[in-house]
Amino acid sequence: MINRRGMLALPLALLASCAQVSKVSSGTVTVREKLVVDVAEPWNQFENGLNPMAASWTNEGLFVDTLQFYVGIKDGGLIAPTPSEPKGVAPLVFKSAMTPAEVATLFQNLWARDGSTFSLDRIEPHAWLGGDGFRVEFSVVRRSDDVRMLGIAWGAVRNGELYIISYSAPRLNFYARYRPRAEAIARSARLKV
């Protein structure tokens, strides 16, 4: 018998199964025409998977492990679509003058939209994309299934645009298994010249 939370996850799983999937081969890959990364091992890419504002890659499936790329979000741009229900949900708008903590809060609001619990575990300055940036570690308890997730993200604002690579997975097994691959991709990231 499927519990209520399982029933909530079912439509999301069906939606993700309809998304177009392609293989990201090893080598140099350009993401959304602006960000270049080096990929040592293949990933699966879901175009418009969990969030049409971000390219989503996975090894095991979008609801298991997800590497998301937010590429070149302009000042005043959304980091995710604003849902029509429930009423009164604030748009998640990026402003180029935001501090790293304000950007982290923006993503906290994204994760918590469905009632999941988000905790910002660590935020620190981090050189990325050829200049000042930040690195964030976070944890989430997904509302749909009570799975405890861990995540890490690297971010920077370049020419007034936001760039973030975010990796998340269940803390038991999957997070530790694929985190080194996500870190290697983030370390290799550079803007397309």
Q: What is the pTM of this model?
A: 0.87
Task: Name the residue range of residue 42's domain.
Answer: 4-191
Report the pLDDT value the prediction gives residue 24, as an integer from 0 to 100: 93
Average pLDDT over residues 43-72: 90
| Two tokens, residue 179 | 């985190």
User: d(Cα 59, Cα 174) in Å, to the nearest integer?
Assistant: 10
pLDDT per residue over 139-150, tens digit each? 999 999 999 999
Residue found by looking up tokens 């998304």 in the block: 19
Task: Specify the number of domains making up the chain.
Answer: 1
pLDDT per residue over 90-120, tens digit each? 899 999 999 999 999 999 999 999 899 999 9
Q: What is the CATH number of the domain that holds 66?
A: 3.40.1000.10
Nearest C-alpha neighbor of 136 from the set 172, 158, 111:
111
Average pLDDT for the chain: 89
